[in-house]
Amino acid sequence: MTDRYILAIDQGTTSSRCIVFDRRATVVALARAEHPQSYPQPGWVEHDAARVWRDVRKLITRALRDAGLTADKIAAIGIANQRETTVVWERATGRPVAPAIVWQDTRTAPLLDGLDPDVLRERTGLPPATYFSATKARWLLDSIPGLRSKADRGEVLFGTMDSWLIWNLTGGLHVTDVTNASRTQLMNLATLDWDPVLLDIFAIPRAMLPEIRSSAEVYGTADGLGVPIAAAIGDQQAALFGQTCFEPGDAKCTYGTGGFLLLNTGTTPVRSAHGLITTVGYRIGSQPPVFALEGSIAIAGSLVQWMRDGLGLIGTAAEIETLAATVTDNGGCYIVPAFSGLFAPHWRSDTRGVIVGLTSYVTKAHLARAVLEATAWQTRDVVDAMNADSGLALTTLNVDGGMTADNLLMQIVADVLDVPVARPMVAETVSLGAAYAAGLAVGYWSDPRDLRANRHRAGRWLPTMDPAKRATEHATWRRAIAAAVLFSSP
């Protein structure tokens, strides 16, 4: 496969990317397009799935053009995607029946009533939450007249964004991988198949569900390109793979729209007793699946976007670092950004965001600092739970994602966690994970361990905060969390 390349499609919450990688994991070309999010009602978050597909199709063409390549030079295509976002479309026409319901959406909260947390956790590793796909699909079936009868007949199909893209790329192949399936709350972690009990609980017809496959295998061929589609993997699991976290105890955190910390736990799932998610990390071909513990933070980079678009306090997202660096602390102000409820380890869908500690002393610079600190303290909550569940103490946090360009944020994270923070040379680790999985499936790379030779560190931050100050600020953060919960209680 001399002079051939891998094409990765990274379909994210706010944008889509197509990246061409060479054998050394060097980015040869990158094409990117933002897509809008719609907020038709409080708590509702939607995407235009048809537009997402049109954008991806254009980005593939642009990435190949910018790389100076024709399709025959591409060894395989790998897909990474926002995970729980739910699309239902017509089998005959390929048209979505409604806007895609995004993972951040909380409209399905009433459907959580009466769900047995023990049953869900035992079978799926997941708690009852609006985060996952099952209640989203149920809401669509209940809300659109005639849709349920069509679903029973297999006339409409359900999928996360990987399924939607593969369907369109191949002209009708309906599949998903184990990582995305594990986030629907419909797959049994033990069998890696759709669970009849869960389908009954959520009233989801099996006829509308995709076939579950491994994360790295050839699913089919992209129409018009003749290139094998050889990987699909949820974006955060893709980042774990791209960071080459192949050994139990390896951990990474991706800072994008949200924040997602995953810890490789090996081939045995670890059931969390501290509010984390047990999920499939990845599966290569017919090998045993690798599991992970995950802590999901709903609001990280999107809090910066809110500062920019909602409040108008900054002109660009990058300005927040400059503004926050003009002060040495948050002025006593803390922001709990529970715009979509509190995710791990709290799992309070009913909670809404609060700003506490406001005085006339607080300026927009202090607010900017509090925004960055909110991401760090939410990370601390997850790391504490992860250490307790795994019996291990995190020694280094590998980070990636757009927010890691903010050096001040990375220093704050190191200070709050009291561990070093390391950023790799290739920032596009989600895309790289999808590329690695696809390349392994077609023999472009021979062994996951060989991929570690491609990893090079671009930045490292060491903790410098006084331990007493860290303890005091952590206690204040916990009071802010309690205030958010109290404010949202009836």
301 labelled ligand-binding: yes
Task: Decide: residue 455, CB within 10 A, 0-12 exposed, 13-18 middle, 19+ buried.
Answer: middle
The pLDDT score that the predictor gives to residue 348 is 86
Provide the b/e sequence for 231-264 (b: ≥16 CB within 10 Å). bbbbbbbbbbbbbbbbebebbbbbbbbbbbbbbb
The pLDDT score that the predictor gives to residue 251 is 87
Q: Are the C-beta atoms of 325 and 408 separated by less than 8 Å?
A: yes
Q: Which residues contact 144 (CB under 8 A, 6 or more apart)?
A: 97, 98
Q: Which residues contact 293 (CB under 8 A, 6 or more apart)?
A: 262, 263, 265, 270, 272, 276, 277, 278, 279, 386, 389, 390
Q: What element of type H or E holds 227?
A: strand 227-234
Task: Measure the N-to-C terminal CA separation of the chain; round to a whole number of Å.
Answer: 62
Q: Are the C-beta atoms of 379 and 253 separated by less than 8 Å?
A: yes
Q: Are the C-beta atoms of 80 and 432 separated by less than 8 Å?
A: no
- Amino acid (1-letter code) at residue 122: E
131 labelled ligand-binding: yes
Provide the b/e sequence for 141-172 (b: ≥16 CB within 10 Å). beeeeebbebbeeeebbbbbbbbbbbbbbbee
Q: How far is CA 332 from the centre of its chain?
A: 31
Provide the b/e sequence for 2-14 (b: ≥16 CB within 10 Å). eebbbbbbbbbbb
14 labelled ligand-binding: yes
pLDDT one-digit tens code per residue, 90-139: 999 999 999 999 998 999 999 999 899 999 999 999 989 898 999 999 99
The pLDDT score that the predictor gives to residue 326 is 97
Nearest to 209 by CA among 287, 145, 133: 133
Q: 249 vs 252, 255, 292, 382, CA distance in Å?
A: 10, 20, 9, 15
236 labelled ligand-binding: yes
CA dist 37 and 46 (Å) reads 6
13 labelled ligand-binding: yes
CA dist 428 and 239 (Å) reads 8
Nearest to 158 by CA among 203, 210, 219: 210
The pLDDT score that the predictor gives to residue 3 is 83
Can you tell me whether residue 364 is helix, strand or coil?
helix
Nearest to 424 by CA among 404, 403, 394: 404
Positions of the chain with pLDDT lower than 70, given as ranges: 1-2, 489-490
Q: Which residues contact 488 (CB under 8 A, 6 or more apart)?
A: 338, 348, 350, 351, 352
pLDDT one-digit tens code per residue, 16-29: 999 999 999 999 99
402 labelled ligand-binding: yes
Task: Decide: residue 184, CB within 10 A, 0-12 exposed, 13-18 middle, 19+ buried.
Answer: buried
Can you tell me whether residue 148 is helix, strand or coil?
helix
CA dist 20 and 427 (Å) reads 14
The pLDDT score that the predictor gives to residue 355 is 94
Q: Could you tell me where the DSSP H helices lie in 144-285?
A: 147-152, 161-170, 178-181, 196-202, 235-242
What tokens does 300 get?
């990280």
235 labelled ligand-binding: yes
What DSSP designation does 276 have? Answer: P
What tokens does 263 get?
């810890």
pLDDT one-digit tens code per residue, 237-247: 999 999 998 98
Q: What element of type H or E holds 430?
A: helix 429-441
Hey, where are the domains in the chain? 5-235
122 labelled ligand-binding: no
CA dist 176 and 359 (Å) reads 51
The pLDDT score that the predictor gives to residue 482 is 93
Provide the b/e sequence for 45-63 (b: ≥16 CB within 10 Å). bbbbbbebbebbeebbebb
378 labelled ligand-binding: no
CA dist 198 and 204 (Å) reads 8
179 labelled ligand-binding: no
15 labelled ligand-binding: yes
- 5-235 maps to CATH 3.40.50.2300: no
Q: Which residues pair with 6 in a beta bridge?
A: 21, 76
